[in-house]
Structure 1
Amino acid sequence: MNTGDGPASDSGADLVLQSISKRFGDYLAVDELDLTIPAGSFFALLGPSGCGKTTTLRMVAGLEQPTGGRIMIGGKDVTSTKAFQRPVNTVFQNYALFPHLSVLENVAFGLKRRKVRDAEAQAKDALTLVELSHLSARRPAQLSGGQQQRVALARAIVNRPAVLLLDEPLGALDMKLRRQMQVELKNIQADVGLTFVHVTHDQEEAMTMADCVAVMNAGKVEQMGAPAELYELPKTTFVANFLGKSNLMPGAVTEDLGSDIAVNVQGNRLVVPKNRTTQQTGEVIVGVRPEKIVVLDSSHEASPRSNAITGAKVIDVSFTGVSTEYLVEVPGIGRLGVFRQNLGGAEVRLGDQVTLAWQPEHSFGLDGEQDTSAGADEEAV
């Protein structure tokens, strides 16, 4: 849906949020948020419900007025401008297509309202871009959910906004179609070169589509960076737990090994590279992703340079097709998860005593005072 009929742009533009805040009575929804989103990038705001991501998007769109701070688009302060005056368009989850208009008329609506001379030709080009030109005469009710989503996207893109806002645009689609549309959206963004800002609570969706992801929590950005960077090297327990799954184990630094530190976790000596930890002395939380761990039965030993935890007991085995997920209990540490690709070989069974091993370079270290459960129970798909 268009948030207005603001001036069109030939290309994407930088979006800069400077100390943006938003209060609803006593509730602080967005807390002095600073963001710079480069022109032409595909940016994702990722977080659980209530973290402030949709409120942030609505302030950029002009649908909410900030309590404080500034919004800049292409170097121009738009904080006080109305929604229809901004070079911004929004695609919402419910698409908001006009049911009485054809697909072509829906896409051309904003252009004709602004009395653009070649509105219909531009609308046809936009439908070609989203591969729906053959359905231009149909009404929205005659389209599938995925097709309606693409019409809404074409209607927004045809206005050539400086910034295109996507508010959970794939949330109403089934899983298979959602995955397909993730790839198509990314390809369309690359073709048109506009600045896309995508709001979602779906971690896989953000990581699949975005060049850069900002993980939001309680009105603030916990961490921002490329998807692989956030996943491989989270800086907080919230990011480690919300973006995928992590095994987090509190311990204490016992040795300085030059480029590494050694951490005592319930009698297990675990090595963490210094460039992969936010803290190098005192209390530290050692983290490792489940797929980085190898499960070794009693007939195998961990290599000398591996991090290893002994005395683990398998308490659950879940076959998921491409992999098997193990839940193991470790005395003094608790329950840890392991993902193992189904490549054949010896099976680990329920009740087995095992050793968990992984390479030190797959470890990461976090501030020992953080809550190891932060982000683990938040809404995620």
Structure 2
Amino acid sequence: MSAFDDAGADLELRQITKTFPGFTAIEQLDLTIPAGSFFALLGPSGCGKTTTLRLVAGLEEPTTGRVLIGGRDVTATKPHERPVNTVFQSYALFPHMTVQGNVEFGLRRRGVKDAGARALEALKLVQLDHLAARRPSQLSGGQQQRVALARAIVNRPALLLLDEPLGALDLKLRREMQLELKAIQAEVGLTFLHVTHDQEEAMTMADTVAVMNRGRIEQMGSPQELYELPRTLFVANFLGQSNLLTGDVVATSGANTVVEVGGVRLSIPTARMQRTSGAVTVGVRPEKLLLLTEEPKAKRGVNLLGPARVTDVSFTGVSTQYQVEFPENSALPGMSVFAQNLVFGAVVNPGAEVWLSWSVDHGFGLADAAEPGSSFAAAEADDTSVAVAAGES
């Protein structure tokens, strides 16, 4: 029998509100996380995600609402009595113990007879069984994080909580650990609840992502769904980078809604619009744009803006980022284009005249509106850009 045969449990938060003196951290939160899933709570500092994690762990009590794990109400249950373990950003390993001793610690306190064998099995899972006799000070940061993970998993929790677990690692190691964590979760089958402010981390590892803002969930879904079809200004801004344009709905033609921005008519699939009347904000991701050096002919199913002027070029390795402005149409905001580096060097240089085009199918409409004339909104640039062509017609 494996030490990891126990399956994860589902987590349910019902009408959770948590208030502190002077502010409300979480407001009327309803959330269900299915058993065996890898779920991420994503959001900026102060949005309520860590408070949510602490409520699940039992380190905070909700002002109102209930916490259920595996269908059992644990709202009034003490932290050590919940089928939950937490992995923190700080590894919190005992420096005087060996790696195996750290992993065995919780088992021995509970009087588990095969603590040594189970600890070694957990270390084997995180590929550290060959370092069982070392002290934490003899390990790298990534290795210490894997020990902390093994120590949590070995207790067979129904629910594993990850509180910014990779935040202290360098970029390369963090990306490696993202893949390892995802593989470990798939193998052990536990329910993982991962809290992070890192959009790439959430999208790389989680099956489902919930974007939190001001104590509420703005949008929840698969990473692809959230990225390709954000519903609100906040989600479009926080998850990746978006070009946003605000205008008025002027027509509905077949399957598309027509929005006029600065005298230019843009088509958006009606099914991808949150609102279809009045002033609306529509958007398109920078990697969906084509940067053209010659004015193309109008084409059905394609939106076109221009002429524009390239004002900045930034090489980022995987892609080159172009910033363009519209000097002949001040009502249009500046826009950003990501071009995959298929050739050596930039396709165009600052000062070049260009046109921007994109497939109608790639546009989206938000439920709320940005200020008219506002420029593109950005979180962190996403390097996973797709190809952008130059000189196409």
Which residue, out of 43, 64, 70, partners 1:68?
64
The separation in 1 between residues aligned to 2:381 and 2:194, in whole angstroms, is 16
The separation in 2 between residues aligned to 1:314 and 1:154, in whole angstroms, is 51
Which residue, out of 260, 274, 277, partners 1:278?
274
The separation in 1 between residues aligned to 2:355 and 2:265, in whole angstroms, is 14
The separation in 2 between residues aligned to 1:134 and 1:16, in whole angstroms, is 39
| Aligned position for 1:258 | 254
**What letter corresponds to residue 65 of structure 2 in structure 1?**
G
CA contact (8 A) 1:48 1:380 kept: no
Name the SS for the 2:334 alignment partner: strand
Unaligned runs of 5+ in 2: 383-393
Distance change in 2, residues 1:295/1:376 (3 Å): closer
The separation in 2 between residues aligned to 1:377 and 1:362, in whole angstroms, is 18
The separation in 1 between residues aligned to 2:128 and 2:339, in whole angstroms, is 41
Name the SS for the 2:147 alignment partner: helix
| Aligned position for 1:3 | none
| Aligned position for 2:360 | 360
The separation in 1 between residues aligned to 2:343 and 2:376, in whole angstroms, is 34
**What letter corresponds to residue 360 of structure 2 in structure 1?**
P
What CA deviation, in whole Å up to 9, does each residue of 1:93-128 have, x standing for no partner?
001001111000100100100001111110010000
How far off is 1:47 after superposition? 0.3
2:234 is the counterpart of 1:235: no
The separation in 1 between residues aligned to 2:380 and 2:295, in whole angstroms, is 40
How far off is 1:91 after superposition? 0.2
How far off is 1:298 after superposition? 2.6
| Aligned position for 1:208 | 204
Q: What is the TM-score with the length of structure 1 in the denominator?
A: 0.94
The separation in 1 between residues aligned to 2:264 and 2:297, in whole angstroms, is 15
How far off is 1:267 after superposition? 1.2
How far off is 1:303 after superposition? 3.2
| Aligned position for 1:5 | none
| Aligned position for 1:13 | 9
How far off is 1:344 after superposition? 2.9
**What letter corresponds to residue 185 of structure 2 in structure 1?**
Q
- Alignment size in residue pairs: 374
2:198 is the counterpart of 1:177: no
The separation in 2 between residues aligned to 1:91 and 1:224, in whole angstroms, is 23
314-323 or 144-153, which moves further after superposition?
314-323
Q: How does 1:182-331 map to 2 (within 5 A)?
A: 182-298=178-294, 300-301=296-297, 303-330=299-326, 331=330
Distance change in 2, residues 1:302/1:141 (3 Å): farther
Name the SS for the 2:178 alignment partner: helix
The separation in 1 between residues aligned to 2:146 and 2:297, in whole angstroms, is 54
Structure 1 runs, 4 residues or longer, greater than 6 Å off: 372-375, 377-381
64-73 or 347-356, which moves further after superposition?
347-356
Distance change in 2, residues 1:374/1:340 (3 Å): closer
2:50 is the counterpart of 1:54: yes
Distance change in 2, residues 1:187/1:9 (3 Å): closer
How far off is 1:9 after superposition? 8.4
The separation in 2 between residues aligned to 1:19 and 1:333, in whole angstroms, is 42
Over aligned residues, Cα RMSD in angstroms?
Answer: 2.0
| Aligned position for 1:4 | none
Name the SS for the 1:246 alignment partner: strand
How far off is 1:304 after superposition? 3.8
The separation in 1 between residues aligned to 2:183 and 2:7, in whole angstroms, is 16
CA contact (8 A) 2:48 2:215 kept: yes
| Aligned position for 2:385 | none
Name the SS for the 2:67 alignment partner: strand
The separation in 2 between residues aligned to 1:180 and 1:336, in whole angstroms, is 33
2:369 is the counterpart of 1:369: yes
Name the SS for the 1:138 alignment partner: coil
Which residue, out of 9, 23, 26, partners 1:27?
23
What CA deviation, in whole Å up to 9, does each residue of 1:200-246 have, x standing for no partner?
00000000000000000000000000000000000001000100000
317-326 or 157-166, which moves further after superposition?
317-326
What CA deviation, in whole Å up to 9, does each residue of 1:121-169 have, x standing for no partner?
1001000000000000011111000000000000000001010000000
What CA deviation, in whole Å up to 9, does each residue of 1:334-357 have, x standing for no partner?
211100112239922211121110
| Aligned position for 2:122 | 126
